[in-house]
Amino acid sequence: MWRFFRHNKNNAPLSLKQVADEQIMLEHCQKTKAFFLGQTQSGLKKASLSNFSRNPFLKWETMNTTLYRYHLRDVVLDSYHMVLFKDGQVIPDSNYVLPPEIWKNLKVDTENLISYDKSVACCFDHWAHNYFHWMTHAIPTFYMSKQEKHNATFLVPKLKGWQIRTLELLDIDKASCSPIEKTKQYFFSDFYYYDFATGRTDFAISQHIQDAYVYLAQKIALDDETKHQKIYISRLNKENRQVTNEAALVEALRERGYFILDPETLTIDQQINIFKQTRLVVALLGAGLTNIAFCKPGTFVYELIPSHHQNPCFLKMSMQGHLAYWADQFETGVSTMDHTSPCTAMLDIHAIIQRLDEIEALMPN
């Protein structure tokens, strides 16, 4: 196993493309202008929706990128940071949003490496237990790896029940999965890696990702007991980006006929069932919105975007699934740009209800 330690004289940053024995193009994702609910070929219908400027993504475009599968040999995986090494040198583009000051200082622990001689496929990033990351990075990777039929063992983190169920829906046998520990480093002689796991599709439209979601959704039979025309995804029990008066919004929407959904109280099957059948999804930006992946084309999505975390990932997902999307930004009172700070300002519930009047008026009968 020590043959991977060849000195890199240039000490230049390595790339997956450079070190791969084989690089297979999976898909090219074209740049696409954002498309919104109420929009026609001639542009947005101003008579339908007011105060356009509240939407922070009007000029946004998806990324133009090409996705690859890499076949690597004799590499080391740091399972805590989910970063790869070749010849003792880190491969920067194998990490997901890891600051350079961290990956530049990572080193291979040659004394404590765990060696794998069988062929493996790495299918997740370092936030694998976050619902958004699992569904947008891991699930497409598992799906494509299975489609390619290279018969590699799937590397997995310690799986939670809901993650096991998603793999069952993908027809992945638990016996074909090999758990790895979060704090170890591993040497692999034969290693498959996909761009999905690096977050390269967070802002790019991928047909392969959409195919994976369709595959999952088709496994769940419709159940009228979980059918709700309009749903609101609650964040009342979440630690990040708390909103002071969300409870008042919840009550206003409940009175308006919305089903208030707390995803963590439901099984994966129930969540998929609800989103397959709903006509309108309303939510503050958050991982619960990941389930719009299972909505049928034409479903309406209204997202409330905090001013300190203007993330268009669910706009991209809506475009990918051909959903009718609109976003309004709300001021949070937070001066820093981050994804965790609680809001110090309150939601304008009256403005939200007015917007819903406009959106619901556009919904087909």
Residue 214 lies in a domain: no
Alpha helices by DSSP H, listed for the chain, are 16-19, 100-103, 131-133, 139-148, 161-169, 207-218, 246-255, 268-277, 313-320, 349-362
Residue by residue, DSSP assigns 112-127 as: SPEEE-S-EEE---TT
Strands (E) in the chain, as ranges, are 22-29, 39-40, 43-44, 65-72, 75-78, 83-86, 89-90, 114-116, 120-122, 153-156, 177-179, 185-188, 191-194, 230-233, 259-261, 280-284, 300-306, 324-330
Banded pLDDT at 5 (limits 50, 70, 90): very low
Residue 147 lies in a domain: yes
201 lies in the same domain as 234: no
Model pTM score: 0.91
- Tell me, what's the pLDDT at 6? 44
162 lies in the same domain as 80: yes
353 lies in the same domain as 238: yes
Dist CA 76 CA 109 (whole Å): 10
Q: Which amino acid is at 207?
A: Q
303 lies in the same domain as 194: no
Residue with token string 């494509």: 144
Residue 238 lies in a domain: yes
- Tell me, what's the pLDDT at 34? 95
- Averaged over 77-99, what is the pLDDT? 91
The structural domain count of the chain equals: 2
* Residue 336 pLDDT exceeds 80: no
CATH code, domain with 278: 3.40.50
Q: Which amino acid is at 7?
A: H
List pLDDT tens digits, range 217-240: 999 999 888 899 999 999 777 766
- Tell me, what's the pLDDT at 308? 82
Dist CA 128 CA 225 (whole Å): 31
123 lies in the same domain as 229: no
- Tell me, what's the pLDDT at 333? 67
* Residue 43 pLDDT exceeds 80: no
Q: Return left, alpha or beta for 33; rule: phi > 0 is left, psi -120 to 50 is alpha, else beta.
A: beta
- Higher pLDDT: 41 or 152? It is 152
86 lies in the same domain as 191: yes
- Tell me, what's the pLDDT at 90? 93
184 lies in the same domain as 267: no
List pLDDT tens digits, range 245-296: 889 999 999 999 999 999 989 999 999 999 999 999 999 988 899 999 999 9
Structural domain that includes position 107: 2-26+66-205
CA geometry: angle 331, 334, 337, nearest 5 deg: 100
In contact, 295 and 282? CB cutoff 8 Å: no
154 lies in the same domain as 8: yes
196 lies in the same domain as 325: no
Dist CA 251 CA 246 (whole Å): 9
Q: Is 312 exposed, middle or buried (0-12, 13-18, 19+ CB in 10 A)?
A: buried
List pLDDT tens digits, range 154-180: 999 999 999 999 999 999 998 999 999
196 lies in the same domain as 112: yes
